[in-house]
Amino acid sequence: MLRYTLRRLSWLPIILFGVSLIAFVVLRTLPGQDPATAIAGQGATPEQIQQLRDQLGLERPIFPISVTRTAVVVPAFHVHAHSQYSEWIGNLVRGDFSREFYSKKPIRDEFKRRFFPSFELVAMSLSISAVIGIAFGILSAVYRNSWLDYVVRLTAVIGASVPEFFLLTLLIVIPSRVWNYSMPVGGYVAPWEDLGRNLRLFVPAALVLGFAGSAGLMRLVRTTMLEVLRADYVRTARAKGLSGRVVVLEHALRNSATPILTALGTSFVAIFGGSVIAEVILSIQGLGLWFFTAAQQRDLTVIQFLVVYTAFVVVIVNLIVDLSYAWLDPRVRYN
């Protein structure tokens, strides 16, 4: 298991390198995306834009190696000691995540400030998604073709169909219209500072994101459970006199866990992306809102960092999911 884990982790730098390369190239080379012009604006002269490009290092080569064709059609390789990418990736490896374009704040400091609100939102949403998805998926399977089953299936379809931003907007509009109620505004408050205010802000959003994330999970759990409930060993367990709860939760569910875990991993990524929308609509100062604002302001250093961070999170989550197979199912061995 350890060797497997280390082997998977050894891929992480390669994946992050690839992602960082793609992000860097795309952000620096797309037409109409010249950051210096976007920043300078205001009728700046070409000389002033050039000065800004020099200050921001945009005049340096993007990559450490560039290729030019010679007259003999043999490519000539040029090595650049101070390319934009090599400086950035070198700093990244050393823990220097660079600074925001406009505020010049260290990205690391801003990341630390924004991490926990996003983490709390995603964790809460994922927990709700898991609880709702698994619980109702089980109930739907157990009470197949009952009114409960139909309600759950309909709910799952609605959850998968209705966009999250619409639900989040309803979350704001309906309480406002009916009760003149609003979620707290004016910044993040940690749960240990004011638990009530924290929950008032996060629970509704987490319920919406969790509901959306649970939709697919409900259907998957139902399908998997139905398959398992028909198995011979389940019949045997029942015949041995075990209670329905033990049969369902300890035998059937456990054997359905592998695809459920996979779906949870996928659900996490979906919730991670959906949290951007939630943070923007609810003005939660998390990583998602930061990403959104940076994209609007063409803050390339922030966008680059967050793209790499997202890739890191996805890789780690997938690894955790894969490792959990072995923990849940003794038959799974990683050699």
Query: Which residues bind to other proteins, rule: CB under 8 A?
Result: 32, 37-45, 48, 52, 101-105, 110, 113, 142-147, 150, 154, 169, 172-173, 175-178, 180-187, 229, 235, 238, 244, 248, 280-283, 285, 289, 293, 296-298
We find the least distance from the C-beta atom of residue 34 to other proteins, in angstroms, to be 9
Residue closer to other proteins, measured from CB, 1 or 109: 109
In terms of Cβ atoms closer than 10 Å to its own Cβ (0-12, 13-18, 19+), residue 271 is buried
CA torsion 287→291→293→297, rounded to 10°?
Answer: 140
CB of 185 to other proteins, least distance (A): 4
In this structure, how many other beta carbons lie within 10 angstroms of the beta carbon of residue 303? Answer: 20
Nearer to other proteins, 187 or 259 (CB): 187
At closest approach, how far in Å is the CB of 249 from other proteins?
Answer: 13
Nearer to other proteins, 78 or 230 (CB): 230
CB of 61 or CB of 175, closer to other proteins: 175
Query: Phi and psi of 42, rounded to 5°?
Result: 40, 40
Cβ 126 to other proteins, closest distance in Å? 23
Judged by beta carbon, residue 115 or residue 150, the one nearer other proteins is 150
Query: In terms of CB distance, is 91 or 236 closer to other proteins?
Result: 236
Structure tokens at 6: 């280390």
Give the residue with the Cβ less far from other proteins, 91 or 169. Answer: 169
CA distances from 191 to 197, 267, 275, 287, 321 (A): 8, 25, 19, 18, 28
Q: Give min distance, CB of 147 to other proteins, in A.
A: 5
Q: How far is CA 137 from the centre of its chain?
A: 24
Residue 11 exposed, middle or buried by CB count within 10 Å (0-12, 13-18, 19+) = exposed
Amino acid at position 91, single letter: N
Distance of closest approach, residue 212 Cβ to other proteins, in angstroms: 18
Shortest spacing between CB 88 and other proteins, in angstroms:
19
Stretch (H or E) spanning 69: strand 65-69
Q: Toward other proteins, which CB reaches closer, 16 or 201?
A: 201
Distance CA 26, CA 329 (A): 42
Locate 67 and state its tokens.
């290729």
The residues with which 69 forms a beta bridge, in sequence order, are 75
Q: Distance between the two ends of the chain, CA-based, in angstroms?
A: 7
Taking the C-alpha atoms of residue 323 and residue 120, their distance in angstroms, rounded to an integer, is 24
Q: Least CB distance from residue 277 to other proteins, whole Å?
A: 10
Tell me how crowded residue 231 is: count the other CB atoms within 10 A of its CB: 13
